Structures are given as structure tokens and as C-alpha cells.
A and B are shown apart, each in its own frame.
Chain A
Amino acid sequence: MIDQPRGDLATKQQTTASRLILSPGGRAATALLLVVFVGLVFNADGAFFKSATHRDALRQASVYGILACGMTLVIVTAGIDLAVGSVLALVAVCCATMAIHWNWPGWIVVPASMVIGGLCGAVSGTLVSRQKIQPFIATLAMMVFARGLAKYLSGGSKVSTAVKQADGTFEYVDVPYLFRLIDSRVLADSVSVVTLIFFACATISWIALSHFRWGRFLYAVGGNEEASRLSGVPVTWARTLAYVWCGVFAGIAGICQAAQEQQGDPEAGVAYELIAIAMVVIGGTSLSGGRGGMMLTTLGVFTIGYLEKVLSINAVPEAWRLMLTGVIIVIAVQTQRSRRA
């Protein structure tokens, strides 16, 4: 062809700045900056300038954030995992039992908890990719089942450091080292360990999605399953593994939850899956699959985390907080859509 692809010229014309702002990442970052800006303006007692505020905002968002890491993997495949909140509770119960009652060391408790989460994910994943049950339904079933299992294993009550003795009395045992470690802060109290765990999970998820063949498969399957299958993508394997990892991340979140509460609560994590989904969606990952990524989700996690913090600093009642969060989700998703149209 005689003519140069017109695009080459066009790319040069497009300024870096306008490209940054129009990219999905730019949109998500704008949302976050907006929230931070609101925080700076309505800055009760100058709270926004205290490092503790930021530490706490991130700490409170971390457990949700860890769930969102797994959720991103699943949503990229055009799926959804509603079970993560229940799996979190199940793992919290198991983890507390192992660490408090059985006195197992951390290096066994942590992998064992992750395996439990992974197994739940494996079941969901198999139902979705082999039995072709819709993700919403398969994981809804897992959500109910895991909650039931958590209640069964814990006998319906919290697994705490008050351990029942043979004579029927309760005796308080020490909080396990693992729990104290996870619930502590490092670097001169400037950052919580759970936040570091979240960053680690986000990094794993990011590397998987953007640097591993498996991640590419997830995008391909989410974007066009039939074309992927015909291109030799191992669709079943790739998709199942997404749910397995989502379960593993739910397991990690369960450990953190147990550590923070110093107990295993079978009622924990109710509706956490919805917050995790909201974080992914605000970041700009599309529920219809094939687009998005972990960087975006991280921005979404920060956005919701800071939103909560800013509202609570300013003593906005919870009722308002919930309503505002709903509005923000709609606005964020709407701007993402108008970009594509």
C-alpha cells in the first residue's frame, strides 16, 4: 500500500496528557483523586494530614482489597464469584480452630487455610467450566454452602480465645503469634501488615494477568470464548484456575479477618463479595469480561477505601455512606462507558 497507516501520524498528534486522562486508568485515577480532594476540603481537625488516617484507610480496605484481587481474575473471564464472603468466613473459622484450639504453627495454618479457600474455588470453577452452570448460580450455591459449612464446623458460635475446658468452664488462651503478627504494624507504625498482604496479593494478581500466559487466556476467554477455544486456548483449565485463585485469595482474606478479630466468626464477611465487586467495577474492569486489570482494581480499592474514610472522618452517618457509595458506583461506571461509546 502506498499510504502510511494514518494511525502513525495520529498517535503522534495525540498528546500524552490527553491519552492519559482518557485511558481507563486515567478515569479510575480521576475518581480516586476526586475522593482525595473531597477529603482535603472537608478535612475535620486536619485529620487528612495525619499519616494514621491513611494507614487506617488502607487497613480497613485491605480485606476487601484482597477479595477484589481474586474477583478481578474471575470478572475478566466474564464470570463472577459471589462465594468469597462465605469462603472468607469458612476459612476464618478453620484458621482460628487450627491456630487457637489446635495450636498449630503459622507455617502450617496459612497454607492449610489457603488450600481450603482454593478447594472451594475449585468446586465453583468446576461447576462453571465443566458443568456449564452459570457463574452467578454456581457461586451462589457455593456461597450458601460455605456459610453453612462454616456454621457447622464452628457449632454456630465464634471460635475465640475462650477455650472450653473438659469441666465445662472457659479458659482464655493467648492470642496466637500468627494473629498478632498479621494485626500489627511495621515501618515505625506507618503501615499495617494486612495492607502489605493486600499489596502482595495485588502484585501476584497483576503479574498473573499481564505477564503470564494464563492471564492472557483469561482475557481471551472473557472476550470471546468460542474464538479462544478454536485458537487452542485451554478454556476449561484457564477458567477453573481463575476460580481456584479467587478462592485462595478469599482464604488469605479469611486469615486476615480472623487475625484482626482474633477469632473465627462464622457470620463474618456477609456482603463482602459485593464490596469486592464494586471495587473491581469502579476501577473500570467490565463485567462483560475481556477488559480491565489489576491496576484498575487497585485504584478502585483505594477509591472505596478512601471514600469510607473521608465520610467517617466527617462523621457522615452510615446510612448516608451507603447511599453515597451506591451513587459513586453508578457515576464511575457511567464514565467508563461513555469513554467507549
Chain B
Amino acid sequence: MISPSHSAPVLVEMSAIGKRFGSVGVLDNIGFELRAGEVHVLAGENGAGKSTLIKILAGVHQEFDGELRIHGKAARPRSPLHATQLGVAVIHQEMSLIPSMTVADNLFLGRLPSHFGVVDRRRQFADTRKWLDRLGLNIDPGQAIESLSIATQQLIEIAKALSLNARIIVMDEPTSALNVSETERLFDLIVNLKRDGCGIIYISHKMYEIQQLADRITILRNGKSVATAAAADLPTSKLIRLMVGREVEPAMRRSFDAKPIGKSQPNRFAIRNFSVYPQGKSQAAAVNQASLTVRSGEVVGLGGLQGSGISQLFGGIFGAYGGNVTGERTLNGRQIAPANPRQATRQGLALLTNDRKRSGLVMSQSVISNTTLASLEQHCRLGWLIKSSEYNAARRTRDAMSLHSASLDQEVSLLSGGNQQKVAIGKWLETQPDLLMLDEPTRGIDVGAKQQIYELIEQWKSEGLSILLSTSEIPELMLLSDRIYVMHSGSVSAEFNRDTASPEKIMEAAMGARQ
């Protein structure tokens, strides 16, 4: 790891930064420094204030206390545009692309190459392609953002930030939707950027990313800066302790008391020769003749790279594509064919989607409304809502998941990313499903909460809930799953149990190597 010399120029200097939303204090007296050629990691629990801090640098929040110096000069970014002009590029945690516009237009929004006001399309497309290539993306610059998968969107968000050629680059959970190989590629880029003298502020909840990338680490807890230290002086255990404020058993060492589910358990859910055609049956299948089973009280993991069709498989099972599926679905021994998510929910299925902003939560609504949205039938009589029952449900969710929110009436758009995820999960638990499908359940969730979710999954399992789960983190996949199916371009390419699974074999199967 190249570490920055102490003589490297200071790119960003923040001192005594404070930020309040109304009367709620979110940041208190934060000092932070970024030097050229370093990766400075910001770590902390959900809601610690990491995103808020970088939004100040990014010109999203203009009102704050304290002093900010960029490239040695006192500065107060007035707007995101102004921040870019000051040499700050930001990859935000919540995506900021315009769904209906093309990749090329999103990349060059606000700075289109033009001659006398006429946009130079050719140059724009060529430039776009150059940036996409650097991230290993092989897509048409003229494609609309909304037609792309969330991982691709995230990569485009990264490309957009890099294409600004800024010296200060902020990445707020850039890999939350990326798989291993995409992440590797991003890390290579980061190493190059460091060599070119850029400074990078990196936010992540993934410990191995922090280990791999960080030169320095600043830890926030509840809006206060707890420590800043060289990465070498902060082993993971100490880092976690500082973040959470108490000891947390590292996830990887926890032992499962529950034995792996034996073959004797009855099948809870199965699909046979199941195909999914998201664009209609005349178009290509995203999932091809997949078959799998989930026993009761079993956690089945699905592994695969981007484009492997896992999300479409979930959607297909859940009726999200209506009748554009073929094959059999059986739940509790009965064939089911939900034509829409409403029927699927009634029949005992639940699906946590991998994109909470687009398809998970109603951002303008309160924590309460969101938690009860999928189970509203239980909270009303003849269509009349029983508010106390809804409130209790939301409180249950808050307690079970240690949700941090000012009140249960707060709009979910004001919660931190990780807390939003907890609300999204809580919503599905309230439906008391037979089969819970979790697409990237720990996306954007901090170590402590991740541990809780692991424990919750363990608990649900012991209560007999069957879980079908996908995650792009192979260690997590292996930790949680009793059995693992690996998918490659729409087909199930391998099946492992606890004894046969290894990261290498899973990766191989995900890349399409024959078993």
C-alpha cells in the first residue's frame, strides 16, 4: 500500500464542523483532513453522520457551522455544481442519475461538449464510451438509465464522478450494489487515482474494503469524531469497537448452534424449470429453466455476478412480471401462480428488493406507513385503519432492528441509508411470510446492524421460516446459507452444501465454469 507522505498537500480541511436539521443535531465539532494521494475512510454506524459530512463538502447542505478549506482556500460550496467547480466529485449513496435520460446525457449533464450551443453528440458518445470502458462496462451510451440494472447504474454513477477529473473524490458506499469483480476493478482505479495525486474519501460498511483501501481512518459515532488514525494502527476489532462503542463479535467467527437442515425436513418451496421473461414472452429470458428447492427452516443462498438473473428470478417468483413466466412454483406442497405481488404476498411470499429507493420504500411516507404497507390487512377492520395496531407494529420493528429514527412518524427519506433498509426488511416481516426472499439484505448496513440481521435470520430460521437470499459478498453467502445455488447468465450452474462450498468454487461457478 502506498501511503501518503506527511508532506503531501492537504486537499480538504474541515474544522469544528457542526450541522443541525431543525433542532436535531447530526454533526458536532468534526475535524477532518484529506491529503493528496491517500484514501481516507470514514467509518461509523448507520446514522452516524457520514453522508451528512460529505454532503457539506458536496454543496448539498449549505448551512453548517465550522470551517471548510478546499485546496488550502476557505470555501463554502453553495451547490453541487459549485462543489464540482471547486474540484470535488461525489458518488452519492443514494443514486442521483436521471432515470429517463441516456447514459451519455447523465454522464455529461451540465457540461455537454458543444460547438456554439449545438451538442457534439459524436464526441459525447466517444467520451462516454471511454469512461465506461475504464470501468469494464459494455453498454450502449444511448441507453436509458432506467433500463439498466442497479449495479450498472452504480458503475455509471462512478464513471460520472471520475469523468469530472476532480482531485478530490468522495465515494459514499460505492460498492453497495457491486459484485466482487466489479469491486476489484474499482479498487484498481482507486490505486491509479492515488498515484495521480488525487485524494479519496471512502465510506463503506464492508470491513475488508476498509482493510484493503484505507490509508487513514476517521470514525464517527453519533455525530462526533471518535478517532482518526493510520489504518495500520486500527485492526478491524478495534475499528469495530470504536464504531459501535462496545465489543461486537466479528461476524465470521460466530458459530451456528443450529445444525444444517437435514434432508428429512419437508420441502417448503420449490420451482421447477422456471423461466422469467421480464420484457414479455417474445423477448429473451432472464432466467432459464431454473429449478431449486427450499426446505422449511432453511436458508438457501443464491450467488452470482451481475446479470446472472437472480433479481429477475426473485421478481418472477413474486409475480412482479405478471404472467411472463413459465414453469412450476410450489409452496407447502401446493402449486401457486401469483399473477402479481399482491397475490404473492397473500400466498405467503415476501420479497425484499435490492433497490430500496426505487422499489422498496415510499420515501415521502412515515416509518409507520412503510412498515405496515404490505400487511395493512392486519391493521384494519372493514377498511378502517387501526392506528394503535399500526403503531405497535412499527415499534416492534424498531425494537427488533434497533432502528434509529427521531420518531416513528418521521418520513423515511430523512433516515440514514442503513435505517431505511431496516424499515424495508421490517415491512416484510410484518407479513409473516412462509418464504422470505432477501435480495441483498445487508446492503448499506453497518457492522452492528449486520450482525443483528444475521442473528435475526438465524432466529427466523429456528422459527421455521424459509429464506431464499442473495448477496454479492461471498463470505456472507457462505456464512448464512445452509445450501447455495450459483447462477450464471440465467441458469443455475451449481449447487453446494456447507461442506462442499468454497469461495473459489462459488466464484468459478458464477463465472460459468463447468462443474
Contact = CB atoms under 8 A, between A and B. Distances in A.
Contacts of A2: 244-246
B369 interface: yes
B373 A7 contact: no
A223 B361 CA distance: 9
A14 B23 CA distance: 6
A229 interface: yes
Given A213-B376, A290-B364, A7 B406 contact: yes
Interface string B186-200: 000000000000000
B101 to A, nearest CB: 18
Given A211-B385, A233-B373, A7 B405 contact: yes
Interface stretch (A123-131, A214-222, A252-260, A298-306): A214-222
19 contacts: A6-B25, A11-B407, A213-B376, A213-B377, A216-B376, A217-B376, A219-B362, A220-B365, A222-B364, A223-B364, A227-B358, A229-B341, A230-B320, A230-B360, A231-B374, A232-B346, A233-B342, A290-B363, A290-B364
Contacts of A219: 362, 364-365, 369
B274 interface: no
Interface residues of A, number: 36
Contacts of B403: 5
B405 A5 contact: yes
A13 B23 contact: yes
A291 interface: yes
Given A6-B404, A290-B365, A22 B22 contact: yes
Contact of A213 (B353, B362, B380, B402): B380
Contact of A5 (B365, B376, B406): B406
Given A5-B404, A230-B351, A234-B342, A216 B385 contact: yes
B202 interface: no
Chain A binding surface, main DSSP class: helix
Contacts of B340: 229
A295 to B, nearest CB: 15
Contacts of A228: 362, 373
B434 interface: no
A226 B402 CA distance: 27
A219 B22 CA distance: 25
B272 to A, nearest CB: 24
Contact of A220 (B341, B344, B362): B362
Interface in B434-458: 448
Interface in A59-93: none
Contact of B448 (A1, A217, A234): A1
Interface in B222-270: 222-223, 244-246
A247 to B, nearest CB: 20
For chain B, the bracket of interface size reads 35 or more
B341 A231 contact: yes
A229 B341 CA distance: 7
B47 to A, nearest CB: 8
List 10 A-B pairs, minimum CB-CB distance, nearest first: A7-B406, A290-B364, A232-B345, A223-B362, A223-B364, A232-B342, A10-B24, A231-B374, A14-B23, A224-B362
Contacts of A217: 376
A212 interface: yes
B362 A230 contact: no
Nearest to A290: B364
Contacts of B383: 212-214
A3 interface: yes
Contacts of B245: 2-3
Given A6-B25, A220-B369, A226-B359, A212 B385 contact: yes
Contacts of A229: 320, 340-341
A22 B23 CA distance: 12
Nearest to A210: B385
Contacts of B222: 3, 6
Interface in A252-303: 289-291
Contacts of A289: 364
Contact of A232 (B363, B374, B404): B374
Given A213-B376, A213-B380, A290-B364, A227 B359 contact: yes
Nearest to A217: B376
B362 A290 contact: yes
A216 B23 contact: no
B485 interface: no
Interface string A18-50: 100010000000000000000000000000000
Contacts of B427: 231
B179 interface: no
Given A2-B246, A214-B383, A10 B359 contact: no
Contacts of B211: none
A341 to B, nearest CB: 10
Nearest to B349: A232
A21 B245 CA distance: 38
B318 interface: yes
Nearest to A222: B364
Contacts of B45: 1
Given A3-B245, A5-B406, A216-B369, A230 B376 contact: no
Contacts of A227: 358-362
Nearest to B424: A227
Interface in B107-125: none
Contacts of B384: 211-213
B102 interface: no
B77 to A, nearest CB: 15
A224 B361 contact: yes
Interface in B24-54: 24-25, 45
A3 B223 CA distance: 12
Interface in B362-391: 362-365, 369, 373-374, 376-377, 380, 383-385
Contacts of B361: 224, 227
